[in-house]
Amino acid sequence: MSPDLSSLLYLIASVCFIMALKGLSSPESARGGNLFGIVGMVIAVVTTLWLSHLGWPLVVTAMLVGGAIGTFISVRLQMTSLPQLIAAFHSLVGLAAVLVAGAALFKPEVFQIAEGSGIKVSSIVEMSVGTAIGAITFTGSIIAFAKLQGIMKGDPITFKGQHLLNLLLLLGIVALVAWFAMVGSADAIAAQKIFILVALASFILGFTLIIPIGGADMPVVISMLNSYSGWAACGIGFTLNNPLLIITGALVGSSGAILSYVMCKAMNRSLFNVILGGFGGGAAAASGPAAEKKPVKIGSAEDAAFILKNASSVVIVPGYGMAVAQAQHVVRELADTLKKEGVGVRYAIHPVAGRMPGHMNVLLAEANVPYEDVVELDEINRDFAQTDVAYIIGANDITNPSAKDDPKSPIFGMPVLDVEKAKTVFFVKRSMASGYAGIDNPLFYRDNTMMLLGDAKKVTEELVKAMSGGGH
C-alpha cells in the first residue's frame, strides 16, 4: 500500500470518528454515530494491518485474543459495572501508550524515528509526553476502577504533604523529560534509563492524583481520564508520525476535556478543585447520629400507588440506586402504567447522576424510554413546583437541598434537582444511609417526603402490581 493511499484511508477513518462523535451527542442520532465509529475503526484496523511490519499472523492472533476477552466481558457485563469497565479500558489505553513509546525507544529504526545513531529530539519529547500522560492515565484509572468496584473506599484518601508531593513529582517529570531530550541522541543506554524514570514517576503521580478524590467527584474523574487517554494517544501519534492517532487522540482528548468542564459546571466546582481532592465522608459522620433522631415517614407500595394514580404529573428521578437494582425496565413499566391512567410522566436527569457522565441516559435508553420524556436539569427544575409527585430512585446527592441552603455543606453551591418543590416526594432507597458523597440528605425528613425503603426494582414492581390491582 502506497503512503498516499494509507494517508487517504486514515483520513476517511478520522472523518468517520468525527461523525461518530457528532452522532453520539444526541440520543436520536446515537445509533448512526455508533455505525460511523464502527466503519471508521474497521478502515483504521485494516489499513494498519496492511502496513504492519510484524506480519499478519502475529497481529491477527493478538486481535483475536483481545476480541475474545472483550466479547467475554461484554456478554457478562451488567450495566452497574459499566463505569468501572470504562475506567479499566482507559487504563489499558494509557498502558498501551507507554508500551508503544518504550518499543519506539528501544527499536527506533522500526518506527523510522532514528536520526544517525540516535533518535530525533522532537520524537523524544513527543514520546516522553505520551509516556507521562499514558502512565498517569494507567494508574489513575486503576484507582478509579478500585473505588468504583468497592475494592477501595470511595472516601478521599489524604495525607500530610500530598499536594507538595504531587508538585514535586510533576516538576521531576518535566526535569526528566528535559534531561531525556538532551542526552537521548548521544547515549542510548542513559536515554532508556531516563525513560524508565519518567514512566515510574508518572505511574506514581497517577496514583497520588486520584486517591484523594472522593466518590461524589467520580463522574468528573472518569471524563478527565478519558481526556488523558486521548492526549496520550495523540502524543504517541506524533512519535509514530501516524495522522490517525493524532486526530483521534485529539478528538478523545478535547471531547473528554469539554465533558470534564461540563461535569464540573454541573457540580459548581473547578477541575483544579476536583484534582486537589474531593468532598465526602466527613459530613456523614457529623450528621449521622443527629439524622437518626429525626422523624421520617415510611410508606408502603399501596400508599404510593394510590397517590400516583391520582396524580396528574409525575417526574421520575433516576440515580445509582436504579442502576444497582437494574430497575430501569420496571421503571419504564411504571411510567407506561401511569400514562395509561392519564398521568403525565417525565424523567429528570442530572449531569452527574450515577458514576459516569450519561450513566442514567444509557440505562433509560436500554429500557427504550422515549427520548422526548427525558429532560435535563436546567429545563425540568422550573417545573417541579407544578409537579404532583417526584419519584426518586436512589439519587441521594443530586437531590440534596443542602446544596442550596446550607453554606457549611461540602456540596453547597452544586446545582441540584429541586424535587422538594413537588407536592409529594417518594424516595426509594435501601436504607436511610447517606449517599455516595457521604452526606446526609435533609430531604428524607421533609413533611412532603415519604420513604419507600427496599430494593428499587422490588419496590417499583410492588408499585406496578398495586396500581394494576386498583390500589386501595
- What's the CATH number where 442 sits? 3.40.50.1220
pTM over 0.85: no
Is residue 282 a part of any domain in this protein? Answer: no
Catalytic residue among 155, 217, 397, 418: 397
d(CA 471, CA 466): 5
The amino acid that residue 211 corresponds to is I
Helix, strand, coil percentages (3-state) for the chain, rounded to 5, are: 65, 10, 25
Length of the chain: 472
Is residue 288 a part of any domain in this protein? Answer: no
Best CA proximity match to 442, nearest among 420, 424, 459: 420
Question: In the listed set 76, 105, 130, which residue is the last one of a domain according to the structure?
Answer: 76
Is residue 134 a part of any domain in this protein? Answer: yes
Q: Is 397 a catalytic residue?
A: yes
d(CA 44, CA 452): 51
Sign of the four-CA dihedral 102, 167, 269, 216: positive
Pair (52, 94) in one structural domain: no
Pair (233, 202) in one structural domain: yes
CA dist list (Å): 17 to 94, 299, 361: 20, 50, 22
The cell for 263 is 461535569
Rounded to 5 degrees, what angle do the CA atoms 380, 386, 392 make? Answer: 60
d(CA 135, CA 151): 21
Q: Are the C-beta atoms of residues 409 and 439 closer than 8 Å to each other?
A: yes
CA 125 to chain centre: 30
pLDDT values of the chain reduced to their tens digit, one per residue, 472 residues: 677 888 899 999 999 999 998 888 777 788 899 999 999 999 998 888 887 666 677 778 888 898 898 888 878 777 667 788 888 888 999 999 999 998 888 888 777 777 666 677 888 888 898 999 999 999 999 998 888 887 887 677 878 888 899 899 999 999 999 998 888 766 778 888 899 999 999 999 999 988 888 766 777 888 888 899 899 989 888 888 888 889 989 999 998 888 888 878 777 777 777 776 555 444 443 444 444 557 888 988 888 999 998 999 999 999 988 988 889 999 999 999 999 989 999 999 998 887 777 888 888 988 889 888 999 888 999 999 999 999 999 888 889 998 888 888 877 888 899 999 999 999 998 888 776 666 788 999 999 999 999 999 999 999 999 988 754 4
Pair (349, 461) in one structural domain: yes
d(CA 155, CA 439): 11
d(CA 151, CA 215): 13
Pair (266, 297) in one structural domain: no
Best CA proximity match to 294, nearest among 181, 399, 446, 142: 446
Structural domains of the chain, count:
3
Q: Which domain holds residue 437?
A: 293-468
Pair (115, 173) in one structural domain: yes
pLDDT at 388: 95
Q: Following DSSP, what letter does each residue of 230-286 receive, concatenated?
A: HHHHHHHHHHHT-HHHHHHHHHHHHHHHHHHHHHHHHHT--HHHHHT----SHHHHH
d(CA 94, CA 85): 14
CA dist list (Å): 322 to 184, 221, 360: 54, 21, 9
Cross-strand bridge partners of residue 392: 317, 427
| Element containing residue 97 per DSSP (H, E) | helix 82-106
Pair (316, 451) in one structural domain: yes
Longest C-alpha distance within the chain, in Å?
87
Pair (254, 190) in one structural domain: yes
The cell for 270 is 473547578
The cell for 314 is 409525575
Pair (313, 191) in one structural domain: no
d(CA 413, CA 410): 9
The amino acid that residue 224 corresponds to is M
Is residue 196 a part of any domain in this protein? Answer: yes
Q: Are the C-beta atoms of residues 438 and 284 closer than 8 Å to each other?
A: yes
What b-and-e string marks burial along 141-179, b requiring 16 or more CB atoms within 10 Å of the CB?
bbbbbbbbeeebebbbbeeeebeeebeebbebbeebbeb
